Amino acid sequence: MNAEQRIPAIQIENAGDPDFRARARKSLKDEQLRRNFRTAMDSLMTKRAAAFSDADERERLREMGNHIRARALSKLPELLERLEANLTRNGVKVHWAETVDEANNIVLEIARAHEARQVIKGKSMVSEEMEMNHFLDGHGIECLESDMGEYIVQLDHEKPSHIIMPAIHKNAGQVASLFHDKLGVEYTKDVDQLIQIGRRTLRQKFFEADIGVSGVNFAVAETGTLLLVENEGNGRMSTTVPPVHIAVTGIEKVVENLRDVVPLLSLLTRSALGQPITTYVNMISGPRKAHELDGPQEVHLILLDNGRSQAFADSELRQTLNCIRCGACMNHCPVYTRVGGHTYGEVYPGPIGKIITPHMVGLDKVPDHPSASSLCGACGEVCPVKIPIPTLLRRLREENVKAPDDPHKVMRGQGSKYSRQERLIWAAGACSTPARRCTACSASSPHAFAP
Ligand code: SF4
């Protein structure tokens, strides 16, 4: 790809538009978008159901997954220290970033130290949080996505609309038109041919790149191992071909030992795509050793907080961090499947987005997210690690209507939907007359309570 064909930095669709409802109304009128999502989600739900045909086994596995994640979080600081010690012993350089700005600057520092001009990226939602492509582009460094779905949305200057399948909102015809327009290739709706076109374009980039960036599915404290699952092989290429590998991940991705990974992997791949296992399971434990033929000369891990400590500090909201990013809650959500991922205007859409995003950006930046749910419970029922998503959504709604001067500060931006007038109306209307008893406590005397 020459300079003219270079893909410009991603423009965030809907950026700056805080109105979730307006975006949802627009998406609901887009018949093509709704057809694309319906088709894709029906297929994913069917595949997941087939992968978990034994309900007893599924529930035992979910219980185990919940236990493993809860145990890891219960000793998170200790496990992170152990992870750092073991990775360092293995030759990996570990960096800590409290904010996305810090994380981006660490990447830039490494890139400058190596005079890097080109970065190739495997799939990483944390790098999306950081808007790494946009940041590096601003510093004259090209950052190219190598996951096919990510490549498609990057080519069309969009954000991913699903955490597992970034381009799920597009059908084959739309991808064909995109490739024809942007890459100048012959129009074809043949999916195999489209994949070959993408592969041919990307293949050379792996060898030209100065740095490979990847995410991490699980970081194993006991051995200092970074585990990465994928189906396309681009993750392996990104982490082994360029001379420098930078892995970026959230602090919650740590697990205690390798034994814990086995059930979590089974839950992840079956819940996400109905697969018993992914095509590639990469286990990265350090840079290339003297006797090894391939692998990077340098491996870095950036551990990003970005609001996760805030969720961790509250025993109920902490459960948000159990997430293994399978996307099943999105596939089964009646809201997400109708409005699509871009409607949320944030990196993480759907049910998981509604509970994690407020910690990352502040509840006041996404005031409608906790309410954009029917509370039907489907998300909680399918979550492989049993995150009680509806309960957490109700909790966030409560935080959203807390009085600004409430002494119990839980999160940034809480109380953004507080209305003194509404509270007074509730207090007066529901509880002020003896004839109308408060349904919450049966009191007949006037008193105020949170709506
Ligand atoms: S909240 Fe549960 S279902 Fe949703 S992405 Fe995370 S692990 Fe998967």
Is 326 near ligand 1, meaning CB less than 6 Å away?
yes
Is 329 near ligand 1, meaning CB less than 6 Å away?
yes
Q: 309 in helix, strand or coil?
A: helix
Residue 70 has pLDDT above 90, yes or no: yes
Tell me the CA–centroid distance for residue 351 and ligand 1, in Å: 8
Angle at 390 between CA 389 and CA 392, to 5 degrees: 65
Tell me, yes or no, if the pTM score tops 0.85. yes
Nearest ligand 1 atom to alpha carbon 325? 5
> What's the rounded mean pLDDT across residues 265-269?
97
Domain chopping of the chain, boundaries: 18-50+327-400, 52-309
Residue bearing the CA closest to ligand 1, atom 6: 323
Is 61 near ligand 1, meaning CB less than 6 Å away?
no
CA distance 408 to 403: 10
pLDDT at 431: 53
Token pair 């086995």 is found at: 262
Contact call for residues 215 and 127 (beta carbons, < 8 A): yes
Query: Thinking of the domain 52-309, which architecture would CATH place it in?
Result: 3-Layer(aba) Sandwich (3.40)
Nearest ligand 1 atom to alpha carbon 272? 8
Nearest ligand 1 atom to alpha carbon 324? 7
Is 327 near ligand 1, meaning CB less than 6 Å away?
yes
Contact call for residues 48 and 328 (beta carbons, < 8 A): yes
Residue bearing the CA closest to ligand 1, atom 4: 329
Nearest ligand 1 atom to alpha carbon 328? 3
Q: 301 in helix, strand or coil?
A: strand
pLDDT at 424: 84
Tell me the CA–centroid distance for residue 63 and ligand 1, in Å: 14
Tell me the CA–centroid distance for residue 283 and ligand 1, in Å: 23
pLDDT at 430: 62
pLDDT mean across residues, the chain:
91
Ligand 1 pocket mutation pick from 325, 335, 336 by most atoms within 8 angstroms of CB: 325
Residue 277: how many other CB atoms lie within 10 Å: 12
Q: 229 in helix, strand or coil?
A: strand
In this structure, of 186-200, 240-254, 266-280, the range with the lowest mean pLDDT score is 186-200
Residue bearing the CA closest to ligand 1, atom 8: 326
DSSP characters over 333-393: -TTHHHH-GGGG-SSS-HHHHHHHHHHHH-GGGSTTTTTS----SHHHHH-TT---HHHHH
Instruction: Dihedral sign for Cα 72, 73, 74, 78, please.
Output: positive
Contact call for residues 6 and 142 (beta carbons, < 8 A): yes
Confidence of residue 75 (pLDDT cuts 50, 70, 90): very high
Element containing residue 178 per DSSP (H, E): helix 172-183
In this structure, of 2-16, 242-256, 294-308, 422-436, the range with the lowest mean pLDDT score is 2-16
Q: Which of 12-21, 192-201, 373-382, 404-413 is predicted most confidently?
A: 373-382
Q: How many CA atoms within 13 Å lie on the side-chain side of 246? A: 28
Residue bearing the CA closest to ligand 1, atom 7: 323
CA distance 250 to 248: 7
Retrieve residue 335's tokens.
């809201």
Retrieve residue 42's tokens.
């029906």
